[in-house]
Structure 1
């Protein structure tokens, strides 16, 4: 079949995906393609849209302001969100392109389908405004058909634009108290076309929404599928023919239906059918059915495909979570749409990589914080078997007026309707930390309760099958179906050993308890010999919540978040304890660690990596921290092994002092070989803390030490090996820096700075800030929000790493830390 638009070879896979997912099979004429190329971007505002359209020769005085070439998706804040020298940009930005339109349908429609854009969006065909949207996370569609036809009559269509259609889009993330989410939220409110934008061709009648409600009893014996359609029929045709085809996970047709319908402006129930013993969807076997709807009106066909799954879930009152009649401990994490170098503009490949990493860690549940996320995320959760709590961005600040409330209603409606068919979704979240004031001169708990009740009722009206939930707003916890209090044992309050006691107390105060958000920050590559040495300064006694000011480094009682070392060593212990306790809490529905990946935030400028929330188990560029493997050791079945200390090159202590070597593994037993000598076999026992008993006390040799562990699970053998140096010399006051090249790959150089005292002893507990600068042809690979991608950050154990692109030229790089001489290196 001839494809009616040109596709480069490298784009075939992407184009086919769009054709199948968004517009059906190639045998039908409807088309959808992502508009990724040939875009220009302007940071700032214009006097009017005409400035984006007026002709000007490049380099002339009329060509200013200057536009830059970009590829979509694109975020205003791809690097400035983590630039330690500036506040991230909040304001308008413009995009423009020229579209070549080839609608295969006679009298068909031309649509722009936005998968998300931040935060307020206006769309123009030439100078005519064709649509607008408020909200940075829900999808929306704009019909540009009439505006295109109007512009084709303009002489400029052929003369200036050569038969192309000029499109301009204005995005704006300016601070606005009457818009959610609040700028007090612990994440950036990004701007830009940071999700995919699709050009869609449809016939005169097409499918706007297809709601496929798949239900099954707890025993999995009887399933029912109810199919409801909402049709896009702008010219008002009266009748159409509809065909339904349902296929099981193996592709076998299990139901067909045909009928002539009278088109209505409201939702129409098309079919209800029963299925005996349907294949069930679960994290272990995420089996998906296909629902294919074909609508034929005036000889033009349109096909729409949805994936659904049959599963039955229940939150037992004051008890566990049940899926398909069996207890399932929800082993979860969280996700922000945020990545090094691109901000919110994650590509499909990046999203799939992230979701696969979560699944490989053993995740079976995720809370999408704190807003509706990309459709790709939900598709991956369906495919991989990850249950979902998804929520609207009513987050912090209080409650605004009518415009504010209407946006929240609209975003809740859109989220539920747009993600209704995903079997992975079990909870619609109505808010987060709504007990957090600050945006308004007033804070009225009763007004918040009243609006929370309204949203709760709206959610149940739109979807009777899912539960509602909120996190951390105790005065609303009786309104929703599922509640998560604030429990940060061992980080913002108390010690992690109090986790089970505090959780049980909170569980007894609500009908359905689910613990989302726990953990703590860790500066990647920082380790500690005594990570819990401040414990004697802590206030202990059953308090484990987060309160105002706890996330800062000022005031209040001693706490790990303020006074701890932010080491990976400590966080591994904290996670290890939580996971071993969760195995002995039969009433626990589950818990979700906060978050999976480090992400940027405007409210944490003083963190070791400025403007980064560093609680992730992977860095912002997918680099795994040690904590990733702690989770794997509890949550995965495939044999794995990880010696603690891969990113800890030098340990320290006294000569002859015993040190602990730990290995994280899900294997039955493990043997340590230290400097070639067996140190014995240890049996794994999850309740033997730390490291489930896989730990050995050894005496390090000064200098180089080799550490090898061999683990067995049944007949499978896995090994891991590292080298660590041991330093017994004690260091004094930091006195000098060194800067050297430690790796080179083609045009990229890796540099490492180290801090020493006056006697050339490395300061292995030093956490001094260091800044990097470059002069010359090269460029620092910085503003990435990672431990090796920041030009200003705290050292980890007296060292820090930065990478440089040489650009085939010469450069000088400097490293500077307060109180010691600056050092330089020539590249």
Structure 2
């Protein structure tokens, strides 16, 4: 928040110009131009582990207890010195998660409890050797040396960190410029007064301390999101300084903060030009701005778009406002902000409305974690993950339990996916409110965001008057920055009590039996299922295996507090007053391996897709009922050696009228598909083939089959190229699959596959979705899990246009796949 003495609000209609859509005005590029430069600062860092308990192994940090005694003393830590030799440190490009490379550590002190759902605390974080018990693994040092142009001396220079886990100390040329404890909120550092003179080398050092965690799930460690070097004039638009509030009528209010960090008064012109998704200018407004030295101001400019195109799930159209600060004819600063026009409304009787249309929210909760890369997920992989769920029919994403990477919100904006944005901690301390305000300032331009969540399962607060006081303070902070969106909290007890009066929408985490009693207490408060399901399954497993720690992939298993997919969705879909629900979770993630919270379980079973993004069978249940395209999916596999003559449960997921099952050509009967359900048959196993035919209006529309596979004969490779995101990083996802001599997938194959890459790409990670795998995510090899593995390649720019990938396994022919990169 800014003090009133330095904050002036200007409301003006001066220079208002409305341009009809498609007007014959020359299209103006709205990319940011000089003098502002926002330079990606991800490449060329050096990294080394420090030590949380040994000052000598922590590069002298804290030696002699004089760390904060004097500023500018490079002796505060050895890496801060310009002549420090970091050649033994590891070269890394960001994003980077050092925890992914740490060993797994069994908790030998764990005594199994009587309740199997109360498991080993070490399992919660995926058994990685990090935290207070592992001081040698819990500190990470990052170092980057760079030079600046002489022309930068008079500019405002900032480093923006999108996310560092955790407790980051930033040292620049020997000066400790900031300490930032949260691992989930972005922060920036002003370097302007501390740059090396005469174009000399600048030393930027970040010490990240992941000794203490913020969650109960795998959180990783390190600079795991992007870093940016931003160069602006002394008079500039601060970070997230533009807020474009649009209405479905086409009216737009552009609120712009301007900071004058110079010693001179400024007479300026603020120009806000709005462009549609095709890059055509559709509105423009100008306003005079007068600023005192060393001051800040906020200008409010109304604009109007003729014939507006609304942001919706099926047509997620985005506008952009290009904001210029001019002094006479001189361009002082310019920045571009995307936004959308849409209207949201929650109703206690009818649920959720987008642009006046009643929509059932069908979503998933997700942590930031993926096989091979941990929490250091490249932008284009974030977008890919959102798209997998969108293709399933999901229309919402809850950021559990922290503000997400900006790339997640960008993807949801582009793809048409609603977002519940959640702050990490439910607290009204100055730091807690600052974190909440940072989330809102950063994310309030995203049309996808429909709810601000101020907490998740805060069991010590949610049912208390103390909690209500805190929630009301948080609500005031939210409404001061964004009165357009409702406030919620995800509660797993005490709905209707405690913090309830501070909320606009009640978030139910499970506890479906309490919904009706809550409605009697608060008949006018809308309800959303902030967490639902928590059903568990293991991809490709159809018999529960207590020893191996695998759960059935049939939709049969859920913890005592939860419901299966079919049960929760049938309930929510049958009640119009429920706005919808979000499944726990879209993807598996490291940690929380319910129901086997013990060694060596290192990842969850909750996901609809596994940690690689390979779909489990339940994916097709949701796809059947969450979107309109015809679906038919048959399970299980048909390799049951030794079970000949024994009964096997065969399930079909479909949204068609009826399904008929055949076993080796013999019909097992046609059955009508119940709404929001599935079909099943019990058949005697015989090797060969099971096939299903799905009917609509009496005619066969789709066919699915499962065939008995022989031994593994080859490893098939398939690639999906993910175009570069705004970070410039393109990826190739390589799927390795075991096939027999007839090309039939071998469903239980666990073959060890060695990957090779030739050409302009690097292997940055591997995975297989196995919740008990203790293999390295950064090795050039991986065992298949139930027939599949994944390799992730990062494309190097400007170094050729063809990549060759090989897969080798013992006693199998080498598979080679060549792919040409597209411009």
After TM superposition, the score normalised by the length of structure 1 is 0.71
CA 1:705–1:417 in 2, change beyond 3 Å: closer, same or farther?
same
Provide the residue aligned with 1:703 in structure 2: 687
Q: Choose the corresponding residue for 1:467, options 483, 486, 496.
A: 486
Say which SS state the counterpart of residue 468 (structure 2) adopts.
Answer: helix
Using a 3 Å threshold, how does the CA distance of structure 1 residues 387 and 713 change in structure 2: closer, same or farther? farther
Q: 2:254 aligns with which of 227, 230, 236?
A: 227
| Whole-angstrom distance in 1 between the partners of 2:383 and 2:699 | 32
Give distance in 2, aligned partners of 1:171 and 1:716: 59
**Residues 1:513 and 2:519 are matched in the alignment:** no
Describe how 1:42-121 pairs up with structure 2 within 5 A: 42-44=48-50, 45-48=58-61, 50-54=77-81, 66-80=88-102, 87-90=128-131, 91-102=138-149, 107-121=154-168
Separation of aligned partners in 2, 1:98 and 1:136: 24
Shift in Å at residue 329 of structure 1?
Answer: 0.6
**Partner deviation per Cα, 1:459-487 (whole Å, 9 max, x = no partner):** 11221111111112522223211122331
State how far apart, in whole Å, the 2-side matches of 1:268 and 1:211 are: 9
Which residue of structure 1 aligns with residue 37 of structure 2?
31
Q: Distance in 2 between matches of 1:168 and 1:106?
A: 21
Change (3 A) 1:803 1:355: closer
Maintained 8 Å contact 2:715/2:737: no
Q: Deviations over 1:394-422 (max 9, x none)?
A: 16xxx7xxxx8222111111011111111
Task: Give how far 1:586 is off.
Answer: 1.6
Residue 152 (str. 1) matches residue 141 (str. 2): no
Report the counterpart of residue 588 of structure 1 in structure 2: 578
User: Is the Cα–Cα contact under 8 Å of residues 741 and 751 in structure 1 kept in the other structure?
Assistant: no
Summarize deviations over 1:772-819 as a string: whole Å, max 9, x none.
9x9xxxxxx9995831771389xxxxx97897999999999xxxxxxx
* Aligned counterpart for 2:468 among listed residues 442, 449, 470: 449
SS in 1 for 2:79: helix
**Which residue number corresponds to residue 7 of structure 1?**
none
Q: How many Å apart are 1:380 and its aligned residue?
A: 1.1
User: Which residue pairs with 2:120 in the alignment?
Assistant: none
Matched, 1:170 2:211: no
Q: Structure 1 residue 131: deviation in Å?
A: 3.1
Distance 1:644 1:241, change over 3 A: same
Highest RCO, 1 vs 2 (Cα 8 Å, sep ≥ 6): 2
* 1:246 match: 274
Counterpart of 2:110 in structure 1 is: none
Structure 2 SS opposite 1:702: coil
Query: Matched residue of 1:77: which SS?
Result: helix
After TM superposition, the structure 1 = structure 2 runs for residues 607-626 of structure 1, keeping only pairs within 5 Å, are 607=598, 610-626=601-617
Task: Find the aligned partners of 1:41 and 1:628 in 2 and give their Cα distance.
Answer: 39
Are the counterparts in 2 of residues 72 and 194 from structure 1 also a CA contact under 8 Å? yes
In 1, are the aligned partners of 2:540 and 2:786 still within 8 Å (CA)?
A: no
Which residue of structure 2 lines up, in the alignment, with residue 816 of structure 1? none
Give the secondary structure class of the aligned counterpart of 2:317: coil
Matched, 1:126 2:132: no
Query: Partner of 1:599: helix, strand, or coil?
Result: coil
Return the match for 2:284 from 244, 247, 256. 256
The CA RMSD measured in Å over matched residues stands at 4.3
The DSSP-based 3-state class of the residue aligned with 1:382 is helix
* Residue pair 2:255, 2:298 contacting (<8 A) in 1 also: yes
Q: Give the alignment partner of residue 505 of structure 2, picking from 470, 475, 482.
A: 482
Q: 1:808 to 1:305 in 2, by over 3 A?
A: closer
SS at match of 1:485: strand
Map of 1:416 onto structure 2: 440
Task: Mark the CA change 1:186 to 1:134 in structure 2 (over 3 Å): closer, same or farther.
Answer: closer
Distance 1:453 1:390 in 2: 18
Partner of 2:220: 190
Question: Does structure 1 conserve the Cα–Cα contact (< 8 Å) formed by 2:421 and 2:452?
Answer: yes
Deviation at 1:430, TM superposition (A): 0.7
The answer on whether the counterparts of 1:783 and 1:789 sit within 8 Å (CA) in structure 2 is: no
Q: Name the count of aligned residue pairs.
A: 666
Q: Which residue of structure 1 lines up, in the alignment, with residue 72 of structure 2?
A: none
Matches within 5 A, 1:229-378: 229-237=256-264, 238-263=266-291, 265-275=295-305, 278-297=308-327, 299-378=330-409
CA distance in structure 1 between the partners assigned to 2:217 and 2:256 by the alignment? 37
Tell whether the 8 Å contact from 1:187 to 1:601 is kept in structure 2 after alignment.
yes
Query: Secondary structure of 2:473's partner?
Result: helix
Aligned: 1:640 with 2:631: yes
Shift of 1:567: 4.2
Q: 8 Å contact 1:88–1:602 — kept in the other structure?
A: no
Q: How far has the Cα of 1:346 moved from its partner?
A: 0.6
Q: Is the 8 A contact 1:214 1:226 kept in 2?
A: yes
Unmatched runs of 5 consecutive residues or more in structure 1:
1-22, 57-61, 158-162, 176-181, 438-442, 489-498, 532-552, 554-562, 727-739, 753-763, 775-780, 794-798, 813-827
- Give the Cα separation in 2 of the matches to 1:603 and 1:527: 16
How much does 1:172 deviate? 1.7
Contact 1:38-1:70 within 8 A present in 2 as well:
yes
Paired with 1:337 and 1:508, the residues of 2 have a C-alpha distance of: 37
SS in 1 for 2:429: helix
Question: For residues 423 and 751 of structure 1, what CA distance do their matches in structure 2 show?
Answer: 39
Question: Tell me, what secondary structure is at the counterpart of 1:612?
Answer: coil
* 1:611-662 Cα deviation digits (max 9, x unpaired): 322211111121211111111111122333221225x6328868375x5432
2:704 aligns to what SS in structure 1? strand
Instruction: Tell me the secondary structure at the aligned position of residue 229 of structure 1.
Output: strand
Question: How far did 1:214 drift?
Answer: 2.6
Evaluate the alpha carbon distance shift between residue 64 and residue 682 of structure 1 in structure 2; reply closer, same or farther with a 3 A threshold: same
**Any conservation in 1 of the 2:661–2:669 contact (CA below 8 Å)?**
yes
The corresponding residue for 2:650 is 661
Q: 2:550 and 2:593 mapped to 1: Cα distance?
A: 19
C-alpha separation in 2, matches of 1:584 and 1:427: 23
Aligned to 2:422: 391
TM-score normalised by length of structure 2: 0.72
2:501 partner SS: coil
Give, in angstroms, the shift of residue 570 of structure 1.
Answer: 1.7
Counterparts of 2:297 and 2:699, CA distance in 1: 57
